[in-house]
Amino acid sequence: MVSTGDSALTSLGLDIDPAVDVSVSATLAAVEDALRSNVASADPLVAEASRHLMDAGGKRFRPLILALGAQMGDPSRAEIVPAALVVELTHLATLYHDDVMDEATVRRGAPSANARWGNSVAILIGDYLFARAADIAASLGPEAVHLQARTFARLVHGQIAETVGPRGSDPIEHHLSVIADKTASLIATSARFGGLFSGVTPAQVEALTGYGETIGIAFQLSDDLLDIASESVQSGKTPGTDLREGVPTLPVLYALADDDTDGAAVRLRELLASGPLVDDALHAEALGLLRESAAMKRARETVRTYAEEARAQLAGLPAGSPRRAMESLCDFIADRTS
């Protein structure tokens, strides 16, 4: 996906007009420059810890979605970059908190903030970034404040639901609901901000919001599949990390729900039901079986279904280069785990 150092979206193979490419890339560059100045603090520790995850890089997917959405209107409006800062700072804040809850030691290839400074500092830095995001949102007006607050509430609901588990509900439906709240809600807000602050019609704002919600689910699911399918660190972490930690991603849930009596399917269910696969040999066996499983194929089809649903949300938007770019992103997300 897009990373800090990317200067052209065409490098991803997206069908994107050069003028749109230049405009979106310029917005992303401006966001990157503004991120650090907007977490500045007189306290050296706060400043250093706040920059920790920014300096480690990242996909900047939420500012990308916002910048693409803004292409439907006037992407040069002054509110666009501050709005992108709101969503990215909110996202970064959740990562600090997530790492504490997950007891993570590494994030984006670097020691996590909680591993370096302890849980209390990591939590407080996350709070600080939320505060900075809220301050910038306030400068954009009451609608931005309300939207950021409602999005934050969905993020919290998603995290709580993930923490407590299905509690008797269908594990697959529960998992998809968690992704909708914990990941897709902020991506939907990103697309909505892009439309709102670029001056498009209310109907177009709604179409962009729907696109953001569904492409957000597809994006998270495809990231989870990359953790299994990739032989590299394309997903941003060592392949098979979720399996090793016992994180139940969609292919795992599909495999556990499968009643196939084939020997490979039965063995895979046995391995997955045993919990975190910390033994290297068992981990390698499960990873190999999962990669070749019907569950993995079904998960890929689910990603494609959400990507196609996201494309359908764009039907209410004017045809042209910006819409083609967003449609091309659907293809990219659907195809990158094949």
pLDDT in tens, 258-284: 988 899 999 999 999 988 999 999 999
DSSP letters, 69-82, are: HHTTS-TTSTTHHH
CATH dotted code for 203-312+319-336? 1.10.600.10
Q: Is the pLDDT of residue 136 over 70?
A: yes
Q: What is the pLDDT of residue 300?
A: 97
pTM (predicted TM-score): 0.93
Q: Tell me what the pLDDT averaged over the chain comes to.
A: 90
Burial class, 188, CB count within 10 angstroms (exposed 0-12 / middle 13-18 / buried 19+): buried
Show the CA angle centred on residue 165, arms to residues 163 and 166, nearest 5°.
155
Find tokens 């002054």 and name the residue.
Answer: 78
What is the C-alpha to C-alpha distance for residues 193 and 79, in angstroms, rounded to an integer? 9
Which helix or strand (DSSP H or E) is residue 115 part of? Answer: helix 113-117
Domain with CATH 1.10.600.10 in the chain: 16-200, 203-312+319-336
Least confident of 160-169, 176-185, 213-222, 299-308: 160-169
Residue 337 CB: number of other CB atoms within 10 A?
23
pLDDT over 90 (residue 44): no
Cβ 256 vs Cβ 272: under 8 Å: yes
- Give the lowest-confidence range in 111-120, 130-139, 229-238, 262-271: 229-238
For 277-319, the DSSP string reads: --SHHHHHHHHHHHHTSHHHHHHHHHHHHHHHHHHHHGGGSPP
Tens-place pLDDT, residues 282-326: 999 999 999 999 999 999 999 999 999 999 999 989 999 999 999
C-alpha dihedral sign at 108, 113, 118, 124: negative
Q: Label residue 237 by pLDDT band (50, 70, 90).
A: low
pLDDT at 236: 52
CATH T-level fold of 16-200: Farnesyl Diphosphate Synthase (1.10.600)
Rounded Cα distance, 41 and 43, in Å: 5
What are 7-24's pLDDT values in tens digits? Answer: 457 667 777 899 999 999
Count CB-CB contacts under 10 A for residue 47: 13
What are 82's two structure tokens?
């501050």
Ramachandran assignment for 275, one of left (phi > 0), alpha (psi -120 to 50 degrees), beta (any other): left
Residue 210, classed as helix, strand or coil, is helix
Count of residues in the chain: 338
SS3 146: helix
Share of the chain above pLDDT 70, in %: 95
The tens digit of pLDDT for each residue in 56-109 reads 777 899 999 999 999 999 999 999 999 999 999 999 999 888 888 877 777 777
